[in-house]
Structure 1
């Protein structure tokens, strides 16, 4: 045991954590990212078994994914705000534990309505884990180089789960039961939660906002703003998901789109009326150096991966008549290459993120071009699809990782929970909007070019995707400012910090207050 050591509110404790403890925590955070992503990807292989067991229609089975994604993306901002205002350790462990309980229960369900309800609630639990995990990760690895590597590895685990989930789900369906897709998540979640109870230091989330009076904390949550934006996202994603299946001319879809857009505009207006330290997304957030352009880049990665997986998994099984396992194995290059590319985080300390992200987007454009030109025949897998999977997955992962790293460096560390929520919200939002767009494009082209057994509709979707990647490349080339590259991340927003006049019970200013605690050095 060490003697009593002073720990300031910006927390020096992570610097005293042993390397072993830091690595264990990184693995725990990455396992959570893995579980959240696997919750969607593994079910792609299990859907036929779910439909047969529960008598689901095709639209109902779609909502097994959409219900999770809708609540997950909608509640990310609430989770991020809770992680910034309260201790992220509590938010993280609570989210992981709830995820385990809900997944365990889902494995025992045999009817449609209960499984859809459980999937929606599971999305809320998962939303509690990601921003809090990123907040803790930034605290555990305060050194910029270590932080870049850790964030890159964290992102890589999501990519691995995205592809590996297909294989895991296929193995459970073929050799056990689809119920094990849910139970597998529970088997991972419970040990992670238990380990983190003891391994995450309680003081790691201590910030000035954590030591505000309860009333000030409550105001800092901005429940009105969060509520408006959450409802707007629920309506928008529901409308987009429904539009891709029910048609964009549906009165319900159009009404929900209009209402959600009005609510989003109302949210941004509401934020301008609040003091800076009470707004969930202060308007100046968008003016942090490079923040807006990096947020725009974050719309792409999940869109690209989800689009490629969606198009080829259906085509290979329904048109080529490949088995579930064969389809999953042919998808493996996406995950393997993505994980390898996630280890490039340290490059951001040598080269400007601008050039790294541009390199990734360039590889992605080459890959998408290959997919647009070929891929419609089984024999085209090796000359077209395989190199496209390798180049595209590497490029998207590089862009994803370094956008993730750069966006955390752009904003103050005191806002890392909210920034993590916004980044992951952009990933989900981009995927939802993008999948709806390519589904509509594919369907409309197939209606006049030979039906679903022809490649024309899928090729048109990839040409559209190529245009999106090219537009993002132009945006990062023009709007990314390199003037703050490799500079230390600010700990607090100066304007927000200057508006805080809260004092402790003893009358000391929070900025001058130190907390003394006994800290064990492992």
Structure 2
């Protein structure tokens, strides 16, 4: 009789190709909705301010409240997806996203919309790690998995740009309420379809023999709560620092407390058995995991930096319309989506060289923006090629670091790894935008104010430095020895290479033999 574990491992093999592809599309739509929920509102913020009587700080929190809860609850979602059934977590997240967005579309006052945005972030956080867990299980073949993860990543990039354009269309010709209702219109059928096409027991490995006791024990509620609260305090402090000032006692205290809690979290993890820790210490020692985590800090930061900088400048300084600004952003989404289909290249070339190529393109693009992005007549000469090259480079970096980090970690930890990776995306974006805001404000104070490009140019020189640091890190620390090796299925004992007399090297588990009596 087969064990529950072997039954679960065989489950993806019994799925038909059309069913797998439909599931991939559903996961990609969830990824699209999560990103769309943020970027589409960029075009609606001025209308929201006028309609609800918001001040600038309150309108900032329409975006920040979502980002705050989304990034903070990723780890909880990842652990639930690994320990319990990812199908339940995914459908619960998509359903919650649809219901909360429907409610938000009927709200016309400030406090309720901020509360609903924060709750929407929690629902969205449930969808990403669980979707990645499902994809890793449904596409166990390395080539298929690379293509699926690459396509999944590409849909997020398309939503980054498509959200701005669709949001602008709704604001211009309908109502900002449709920015929320559009999410409901997509989420509802996705949840319904996934209820029928996702196998009921897929991904359930932990605690198969003693479900309730084993699963609850391995959830590590203490560690998850510590890290979640730390993230909430940190992101709240970073977001508040750009509005109330970095020298504010509240900001400084929250930053210090959050950092201490992160340190406390990692200490707590060292005290637990490996199978009971939310993020076991060994996670950081999977091949290339740490350096890929560092690379994950860049993609969302670069995209958001470019979009925030130019959307505001084009509307406030150049006086372009919302639609015109969105259309001029189109190269970012189009090129990113086209580049998302490069996932299969990771089975031909080392991800190291692909990521380095992407970072090189990104540095070139950012240099163009630093030198010539401040004049409307320079769009085709500097900005358009920068958007195209930079988006291609960042998408290559995003896609192949995503693929490589899942190939490095056991499939049984896919939910947690997805949470860590996406948490790094949010963390890098929050820190990077806060640093850019401080640099821009400081430079503009002495160089002509916000109507001059000096402050924005300075921020892009800062971004070039960040990309260069990433390039150096990958060049030095990325180890290619495990490229194109099978993905580990579960955590197990370390392996060593054994060379036989026929000079063929194979891997074997290290077995410690008991010492013979003397």
TM-score range normalised by the length of the shorter chain: over 0.9
Deviates most, 413-422 or 204-213: 204-213
Q: Is the 8 A contact 2:4 2:205 kept in 1?
A: no
Instruction: Give, in angstroms, the shift of residue 6 of structure 1.
Output: 9.4
Instruction: Give, in angstroms, the shift of residue 216 of structure 1.
Output: 1.8
Map 1:53-452 onto structure 2 (within 5 A): 53-452=51-450
Could you tell me how far apart the structure 2 residues matched to 1:398 and 1:159 are? Answer: 11
- Matched with 2:18 is 20
1:91–1:211 distance in 2 versus 1, CA, 3 Å: farther
- Matched with 1:46 is 44
The DSSP-based 3-state class of the residue aligned with 1:448 is coil
Q: Is the 8 A contact 1:56 1:112 kept in 2?
A: yes
Instruction: Give, in angstroms, the shift of residue 322 of structure 1.
Output: 0.2
Cα deviation, 1:258-287, whole Å, max 9, x if unaligned, reads 000000000000000000000000001001
Q: Is the 8 A contact 1:7 1:13 kept in 2?
A: no
1:99–1:211 distance in 2 versus 1, CA, 3 Å: farther
Instruction: Give, in angstroms, the shift of residue 495 of structure 1.
Output: 5.0
Could you tell me how far apart the structure 1 residues matched to 2:211 and 2:351 are? Answer: 39
Cα deviation, 1:438-490, whole Å, max 9, x if unaligned, reads 01100000000110011100000000000000000000000000010000000
Q: Is the 8 A contact 1:87 1:210 kept in 2?
A: no
Tell me if 1:473 matches 2:479.
no
Instruction: Give, in angstroms, the shift of residue 132 of structure 1.
Output: 0.2
Instruction: Give, in angstroms, the shift of residue 209 of structure 1.
Output: 3.7
- Matched with 1:501 is none
Deviates most, 474-483 or 215-224: 215-224
Cα deviation, 1:218-260, whole Å, max 9, x if unaligned, reads 1111010000000000000000011111111111000000000
Could you tell me how far apart the structure 1 residues matched to 2:365 and 2:54 are? Answer: 36
Tell me if 1:29 matches 2:10.
no
Tell me the C-alpha RMSD between the 2 structures: 1.3
The DSSP-based 3-state class of the residue aligned with 1:360 is helix
Structure 1 gaps of 5+ residues are 497-522
Could you tell me how far apart the structure 1 residues matched to 2:60 and 2:474 are? Answer: 34
Q: Is the 8 A contact 1:302 1:427 kept in 2?
A: yes
Could you tell me how far apart the structure 2 residues matched to 1:306 and 1:278 are? Answer: 36
Could you tell me how far apart the structure 1 residues matched to 2:142 and 2:222 are? Answer: 35
1:408–1:6 distance in 2 versus 1, CA, 3 Å: closer
Instruction: Give, in angstroms, the shift of residue 383 of structure 1.
Output: 0.5
Could you tell me how far apart the structure 1 residues matched to 2:411 and 2:390 are? Answer: 31
1:210–1:132 distance in 2 versus 1, CA, 3 Å: farther
TM-score, normalised to structure 1's length?
0.93
Instruction: Give, in angstroms, the shift of residue 7 of structure 1.
Output: 7.9
Q: Is the 8 A contact 1:358 1:477 kept in 2?
A: yes
Q: Is the 8 A contact 1:152 1:343 kept in 2?
A: yes
TM-score, normalised to structure 2's length?
0.94
Q: Is the 8 A contact 1:9 1:208 kept in 2?
A: no
Instruction: Give, in angstroms, the shift of residue 203 of structure 1.
Output: 2.5
The DSSP-based 3-state class of the residue aligned with 1:280 is coil
The DSSP-based 3-state class of the residue aligned with 1:494 is coil
Structure number with the bigger relative contact order (C-alpha 8 A, sep ≥ 6) is 1
Structure 2 gaps of 5+ residues are 495-518
The DSSP-based 3-state class of the residue aligned with 1:205 is coil
1:76–1:274 distance in 2 versus 1, CA, 3 Å: same
